[in-house]
């Protein structure tokens, strides 16, 4: 049998995150490959690790001083076996092809799990929106779309937000798309409400993470009420994970950004969260300011080069990593388990290292991997596409009910698949196998393309 991981490493040795995502996935699907030799014969894996198309382009723009700035733009169109390419755009200085390929690869299986007809893709740029004026962000987005527009379409490839891309960026991107293509279509999701967006899309990833956590706890006759929760990040996913946890009666004690984290022993309530959302979404401030407003809280700067993150070293019941990839290493995972955590539900994509995942699985805690637990965001993106096609808007209640149903269905699928393959309660096996089989079968049906 060819060693797929080695093939990829030989071809693109520098794409570490992509290798990591593949390694995690391959370990899980071994038993399905044994049962289905036709997958190997049709070279399904070799095809899955090779994007259908990669677009890479120059993004020139003018800053407020009139100086020319150059960034690199990308879109990875990974797999369209079960629907048009779908997945977010990330604007962050760390963005490179390897990171976007890992995100696009995971997106393929995540989208497959949602029950909706969406293929997988991911894109973005090494542009850093932090510290930029609205006008600079607008000029960057317009320039980025000047190239991207010819590759996307409401039945071809539908981008959305991710790190550094929220409502403001989607607005600027959509405006330029509409002008260039001369059509008003659902080519992006995460749009604002009064021009084609869906209710609950901003909330969807965070709400979904909590619905998934609640389903996991119910398998052990438990619920979120009064449980103490650690959350990392303070962006879109972290904010709405916090909001839903408060609604479920849990106590959220941490939030972070890339500079440090706050620990609020009394818990972040609705009023504190509303203040924080203004700080992050309107003033675009730093989490450190929370401590100036709420003096009971403790702020700890975090050195990302340390061998562990002190945020994960508090007594708690649940952990919700909602910032970025590889934010929980082996030591962090050991600290979480040692401090009594019984559940981890991943809002971020691949936040836990391979060694960290092993710690969680060996300890027997409830561990919900990102491609299952954070699928609520792309699910409501899919529902936004449906509403755009029908040219109508559902109510908040209707979208939230559908989101809940989808998260329950993903949870059930993971549980049933894991049990079927002799690994009851293992959500990693369940998510990877169920996500994979649907895509693999579609690829077989469609021939060698
Ligand atoms: P945002 O840009 O809204 O927020 C990102 C948060 O993560 C910020 O608090 C940011 O801090 C922090 N962060 C980013 N990079 C780092 C880093 N290298 N180290 C430490 N902290 C970091 O993004 P989202 O909330 O949308 O995304 C968060 C995660 O959720 C990502 O992994 C994303 O892929 C995933 N996700 C997002 C979905 C969505 O619908 N938006 C859907 C599914 C998954 P700072 O301000 O200092 O950079
Ligand atoms: O990682 C993700 O699932 C997202 N960033 C959301 C993608 C989408 O198309 O809504």
Ordered DSSP codes for 66-108? S-EEEEEEEEEEEE-SSSSEEEEEEE-TT--HHHHHHHHHHHH
Atom of ligand 2 nearest to the CA of 161: 5
> Please, how many CA atoms are within 13 Å of residue 165, restricted to the half-sphere of its CB?
30
The CATH 3.40.50.720 portion of the chain extends over 204-364
pLDDT for 355-398, tens place per residue? 999 999 999 999 999 999 999 999 999 999 999 999 999 999 99
Asked if 326 contacts 303 with a C-beta cutoff of 8 angstroms, the reply is no
Name the CA radius of gyration of the chain, rounded: 21
Question: Measured in angstroms, how far is the CA atom of residue 233 from the centroid of ligand 1?
Answer: 6
What is the arithmetic mean of pLDDT over 101-129? 98
Residue 313, both tokens: 């070293």
Cα separation, 157 vs 169, in Å, equals 18
204-364: what fold? Rossmann fold (3.40.50)
Mapped onto helix, strand or coil, the DSSP state of residue 186 is coil
- What is the reported pLDDT for 304? 80
Cβ atoms < 10 Å from Cβ of 184 = 12
The CATH 3.40.50.10860 portion of the chain extends over 2-183
pLDDT for 395-414, tens place per residue? 999 999 999 999 999 999 99
Is 178 annotated as catalytic?
A: no
Cα separation, 149 vs 51, in Å, equals 19
Mapped onto helix, strand or coil, the DSSP state of residue 9 is helix
Provide DSSP, 237-295. HHHHHHHHHHHTT-EE-EEE-SSEEEE-TT---HHHHHHHHHHHHTS---TTHHHHHST
Q: Which residues of 194-230 are buried (b: 16+ CB within 10 A; e: fewer)?
A: eebbbbbbbbbbbbbbbbbbbbbbeeeeeebeebbbb
Cβ atoms < 10 Å from Cβ of 135 = 11
Cα separation, 142 vs 135, in Å, equals 10
Q: Ligand 1 pocket test: which of 91, 257, 346 has the largest number of ligand atoms within 8 Å of its C-beta?
A: 257
With cut-offs at 50, 70 and 90, classify the pLDDT of residue 1.
low
- The residues lining ligand 1, judged by C-beta closer than 6 Å to any ligand atom, are 161-164, 166, 205, 233-238, 257-259, 304, 322-324, 347-349, 374, 377
- The average confidence (pLDDT) of the chain is 98
Cα separation, 53 vs 119, in Å, equals 13
pLDDT at residue 236 tops 70: yes
Residue 222, both tokens: 């438990």
Mapped onto helix, strand or coil, the DSSP state of residue 435 is helix
- The residues lining ligand 2, judged by C-beta closer than 6 Å to any ligand atom, are 86-88, 107, 110, 160, 162, 189, 349, 377-378, 381
Helix (H) / strand (E) element for 440: namely helix 427-445
Atom of ligand 1 nearest to the CA of 103: 34
Question: Measured in angstroms, how far is the CA atom of residue 378 from the centroid of ligand 2?
Answer: 5
What is the arithmetic mean of pLDDT over 98-103? 98
Q: Is the pTM of this model over 0.85?
A: yes
Q: Which residues of 383-422 are buried (b: 16+ CB within 10 A; e: fewer)?
A: bbbbbbeeeebbeeeebbebbbebbeebbebbbebbeebe
- What is the reported pLDDT for 305? 82
Q: Which residue has the tokens 């649907």?
A: 438
pLDDT at residue 302 tops 90: yes
Residue 269 — left, alpha, or beta (φ > 0 → left; ψ -120 to 50 → alpha)?
beta
Q: Ligand 1 pocket test: which of 100, 101, 324 has the largest number of ligand atoms within 8 Å of its C-beta?
A: 324
Closest C-alpha to ligand 2, atom 3: 378
Question: Measured in angstroms, how far is the CA atom of residue 103 from the centroid of ligand 2?
Answer: 9
Percent of the chain with pLDDT over 90: 99
Q: Does domain 2-183 have CATH number 3.40.50.10860?
A: yes
Distance of CA 236 to the CA centre of its chain: 11
Percent of the chain with pLDDT over 70: 100
Cα separation, 410 vs 378, in Å, equals 13
End-to-end C-alpha distance for the chain, whole angstroms: 22
Asked if 236 contacts 161 with a C-beta cutoff of 8 angstroms, the reply is yes
Q: Residue 195 has what DSSP assignment?
A: G
pLDDT at residue 178 tops 70: yes
Cα separation, 9 vs 16, in Å, equals 8
What is the arithmetic mean of pLDDT over 179-207? 98
């Amino acid at each position: 049998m060819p060693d797929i991981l080695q093939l990829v490493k030989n071809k693109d040795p520098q794409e570490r995150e992509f290798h990591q995502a593949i390694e995690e996935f391959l370990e899980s699907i071994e038993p399905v490959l044994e049962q289905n030799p036709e997958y190997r014969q049709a070279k399904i894996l070799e095809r899955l690790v090779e994007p259908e198309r990669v677009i890479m382009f120059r993004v020139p723009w003018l800053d407020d001083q009139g100086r020319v700035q150059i960034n690199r733009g990308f879109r990875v169109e990974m797999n369209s076996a079960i629907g048009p390419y779908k997945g977010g755009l990330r604007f962050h200085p760390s963005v490179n092809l390897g990171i976007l390929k890992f995100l696009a690869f995971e997106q393929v299986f995540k989208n497959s799990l949602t029950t909706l007809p969406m293929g997988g893709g991911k894109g973005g740029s090494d542009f850093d929106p932090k510290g930029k004026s609205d006008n600079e962000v607008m000029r960057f987005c317009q320039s980025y779309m000047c190239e991207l527009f010819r590759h996307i379409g409401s039945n071809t490839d539908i981008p959305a937000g991710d790190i550094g891309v929220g409502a403001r960026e989607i607005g600027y991107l959509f405006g330029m798309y509409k002008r260039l293509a001369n059509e008003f279509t659902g080519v992006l999701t995460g749009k604002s409400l009064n021009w084609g967006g869906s209710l609950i899309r901003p909330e969807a990833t965070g709400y979904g993470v909590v619905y998934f956590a609640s389903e996991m706890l119910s398998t052990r006759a438990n619920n979120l009420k009064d449980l103490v929760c650690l959350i990392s990040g303070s962006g879109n996913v972290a904010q709405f994970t916090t909001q839903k946890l408060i609604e479920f009666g849990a106590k959220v004690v941490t939030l972070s950004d890339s500079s440090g984290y706050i620990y609020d022993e009394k818990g972040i309530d609705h009023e504190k969260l509303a203040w924080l959302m203004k700080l992050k979404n309107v003033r675009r401030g730093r989490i450190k300011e929370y401590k100036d407003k709420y003096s009971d809280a403790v702020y700890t700067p975090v050195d990302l080069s340390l061998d562990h993150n002190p945020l994960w070293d508090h007594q708690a019941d649940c952990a919700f990593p909602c910032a970025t990839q590889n934010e929980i290493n082996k030591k962090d995972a050991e600290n979480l388990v040692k401090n009594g955590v019984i559940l981890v539900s991943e809002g971020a994509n691949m936040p836990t290292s391979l060694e960290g995942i092993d710690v969680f699985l060996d300890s027997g805690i409830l561990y919900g991997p990102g491609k299952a637990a954070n699928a609520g965001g792309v699910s409501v993106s899919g529902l936004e596409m449906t509403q755009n096609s029908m040219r109508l808007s559902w109510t908040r209640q209707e979208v939230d009910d559908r989101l809940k149903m989808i998260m329950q269905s993903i949870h059930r699928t993971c549980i049933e698949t894991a049990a079927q393959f002799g690994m009851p309660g293992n959500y990693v096996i369940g998510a990877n196998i169920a996500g994979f089989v649907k895509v693999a079968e579609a690829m077989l049906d469609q021939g060698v393309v």
